[in-house]
Structure 1
Amino acid sequence: MDRRLPPLGRTVGTVSEYQYYEFSAVDRPLTGRERAELRSLSTRANITATSFANTYEWGNFKADPRKLMERYFDAHLYLANWGSRRLMLRLPKHVLDSGTVAQYCQGDSASAWTAGEHVIIDLHDEDEDGTDEWDLDGHGLLTSIIPVRAGLAAGDLRLLYLAWLRCIPSEEIADDEPEPPVPAGMGTLDASLTAVAEFLRIDPDLIAAATTGSAPPAASEPTAAQLRTWVVGLPARDKDAILSDLITGGDSHLRSQLLRRYRAAHPTDTPTPAAARTAGQLLATAADLRAERERRDAEQRERDQVSRERSAAAARQRHLDTLAVDQPAVWQRVDELIATKKPREYDTAVQLLVDLHDLSERDGDSSSFQHGLAELRAAHARKPSLLERLNLAGLET
């Protein structure tokens, strides 16, 4: 199967499967003609000036998502409940260099191609075990992810590095393959990058392994005064071009481009990047981190269990202290419960007797309890259901 295309829909028995397609136009709205063209592909899809979304519980989408990305859209998300997940992003080539993308997108799980003036990134994840939940819902997922596109346009390459990491577990990257440049800030992924990592099921331990070679996040955004000073010094022809693009709206990524240009003109001191590691080394580091995390988790579970047991023991002692205040009243309550001859009341009576037994053991007065229990068993010797409950609770004379 060509992993660049979603698998065909499948139906087992009478159970329908779930496929969700969503496309988003970010840089410009769809024209009326384009919406009509899209409507011809699906009569049931929800189509607006900026989006196309449809859910299939049987059958399949008849169009090629790659072609739709090339012609109409800037983002696409696909989700199927047999384990297939797909994310595509399109950006103009003048804000995202195709050569840079090629450094990171090196396998079927992360590929890219150019179409006209755009670069399109195509990311996949296939759950080979088919363990996705049946109640998946794709609505809202693309909205949480789309902000990574603006970050990528502004020079944040962390998405591309995540794409490269995604290829490693699928064995699309050789163990001795050196890693591409590690972007700064891998240890502080924002909400949209975290959403990408979760959607594509990128191993969090592998991401943690990558952070050890990542510099701290870049400095904060330049101030208005700094930008104003820089703009004043730009050549007149550059200012004319900027104003023209701003007025005509010809470039929706104008701000990102200018910020990248400003940062290039004002480099900050950054730590020397660590030596490139290999994919195999990252996998080994991730395995060590996973083992250490699981050890800590096991220790925490043990501490939590001890804490719960101590709390339960303390609560038990407080309960026995309450019973110790008036034990004759407890024995009387046991008699009243047994007198009802109801199974549920028998259970409550037996539990009170267990409490009295534990209290006698704690206070060193077991002979008194055994005497009372013997009298009770003798008085109710013709109640086999009650006696069975007493025996099962270990309340034997």
Structure 2
Amino acid sequence: MSEYQYYEFVAIDRQLTAAEQGELRAVSTRGRISASSFVNDYQWGDLKADPRQWMERYFDAHLYLANWGTRRIALRLPVQLLDPDLAATYCVGHSASSWATDEHVILDLYSRDEDGDEEWWDDEAALASIVPVRAELAAGDNRLLYLAWLLCVQDRELDEDELEPAVPPGLAELSGPLRSLADFLRLDQDLLDTAARASAPLTTKAPSAAALTKWVRRLPEADKDQAIVRLLRGDGTHLRAELLRRYGGGTAPEAVRGGRTVGELLAGAETRWADRQRLAEERKAAEQARREAAAAAAREQRLDALAADPERAWRQVAELIATKKPKEYDAAVALLVDLEALGERDGQRKAFRGRIHQLRQEHARKPSLLDRLERAGLIASAASGATT
């Protein structure tokens, strides 16, 4: 299988200038470049640039896929919307890392699978389904950060006695974009469910118009003027999130202090997995028992019908065999199996064995039929003879 790599970068907060697009074109002559994105895939080569530097200079989101199992998501937020120290608290390994520039904080999330399963993933739609998590994080929803930390736990990058950071609310009810991110990063559902036990319900309540009006009236005039100027200059991408953070009416309630160790979370995930396996086996066994009971009931109905006129069934067997057709042989053998069961049930086993012996003698020159009888356990061994 040939190599395949997919790179996608998106500029969200501002468009790329013509000069910046030219810089990207100098790196890749066949990349699909616009004022808001760079997309390219490689069958044998590779991107002749450092994605980290591109994230620092040009882009707000990046997705990478390789058919040997590597996946990567990088997101960039302004420092006024994401505290670098907070990001570093959760991004603590190779699977999830963060760094800051003068203006931005960048999160870098990795997932690796040596088996490689990228053929099924729709790379063209993946980033679009995930990138809204950036706005959620900007609005104060820290579930993304906790998922990043959990990814480090899953990849065994932390000591088992290390304590978890603060647990944000809503882990048991991820948004669509967060669910897409978790799936993309192959985050183990049992581990996530275990972590969610300590997560409070997500009870978001937007501030009322009256409350916002009252708060805005108390704002200093200089702050109001600055907000309006930013909006008019087109610098209002994150203005709403910043103001809501200042108001104290963000979209998520407070996180709770984490008290579990990495080892406890991993053990809990293993227990959940074992419980799911046990329940699946129990359901499988119950379904098998149901099918067997249904089959037994259906067979009893067939045997009752045969018992009403067994000679008619024997005549039908003879008619089917007389056709000398393989398909009819199969039908005859199936009917004989039911007749054998009827003999066992009604105490006529000896009579049945006698008639089977007679049938075998009559059709000794039909090896195809005899082979079917032997495989059905109706005769001990098939005799050789001429073909039908």
TM range (shorter): 0.7 to 0.9
Corresponding residue of 1:120:
106
Residue 313 (1) aligns with residue 296 (2): yes
Alignment of 1:313-392 (within 5 A): 313-321=296-304, 327-366=310-349, 369-392=352-375
Which deviates further from its counterpart, 41-50 or 78-87? 41-50
Is the 2:161–2:262 contact (alpha carbons within 8 Å) kept by the matching residues of 1? Answer: yes
Secondary structure of 1:285 counterpart: helix
Q: CA RMSD in A?
A: 2.7
Residues 224, 363 of structure 1: alpha-carbon distance in 2 compared, 3 angstrom cutoff: farther
Residue 277 (1) aligns with residue 260 (2): yes
Secondary structure of 2:243 counterpart: helix
The one of 144, 163, 167 aligned to 1:159: 144
| Letter of the 1:342 counterpart | K
1: CA distance between counterparts of 2:39 and 2:331? 58
Residue 59 (1) aligns with residue 45 (2): yes
2: CA distance between counterparts of 1:245 and 1:95? 16
Residues 183, 320 of structure 1: alpha-carbon distance in 2 compared, 3 angstrom cutoff: same
Secondary structure of 1:140 counterpart: helix
Residue 296 (1) aligns with residue 282 (2): no
TM-score (norm 1): 0.86
The one of 236, 240, 251 aligned to 1:255: 240
The one of 116, 119, 127 aligned to 1:135: 119
The one of 181, 193, 214 aligned to 2:166: 181
Corresponding residue of 1:145:
130
Post-superposition shift, 1:98?
0.6
2: CA distance between counterparts of 1:378 and 1:236? 110
Residue 45 (1) aligns with residue 31 (2): yes
Post-superposition shift, 1:88?
0.3
1:223-261: per-residue Cα shift (whole Å, max 9, x none)?
344433433443333322222222222130112222222
1: CA distance between counterparts of 2:311 and 2:246? 87
The one of 375, 378, 381 aligned to 1:395: 378
Unaligned runs of 5+ in 1: 1-14
How many pairs does the alignment contain?
379
Post-superposition shift, 1:320?
4.3
Which deviates further from its counterpart, 283-292 or 146-155? 283-292
Post-superposition shift, 1:319?
4.5
Post-superposition shift, 1:264?
5.4
Which deviates further from its counterpart, 276-285 or 220-229? 220-229
Which deviates further from its counterpart, 325-334 or 290-299? 325-334
Secondary structure of 1:135 counterpart: helix
The one of 212, 215, 226 aligned to 1:227: 212
Secondary structure of 1:73 counterpart: coil
Residues 282, 44 of structure 1: alpha-carbon distance in 2 compared, 3 angstrom cutoff: same
Percent identical: 53
Unaligned runs of 5+ in 2: 381-388
Is the 2:142–2:168 contact (alpha carbons within 8 Å) kept by the matching residues of 1? Answer: yes
Is the 1:81–1:136 contact (alpha carbons within 8 Å) kept by the matching residues of 2? Answer: no
Residues 150, 358 of structure 1: alpha-carbon distance in 2 compared, 3 angstrom cutoff: same
Corresponding residue of 1:207:
192
Moved over 6 A (4+): 265-268
Residues 140, 288 of structure 1: alpha-carbon distance in 2 compared, 3 angstrom cutoff: same
Is the 1:350–1:389 contact (alpha carbons within 8 Å) kept by the matching residues of 2? Answer: yes
| Letter of the 1:54 counterpart | N
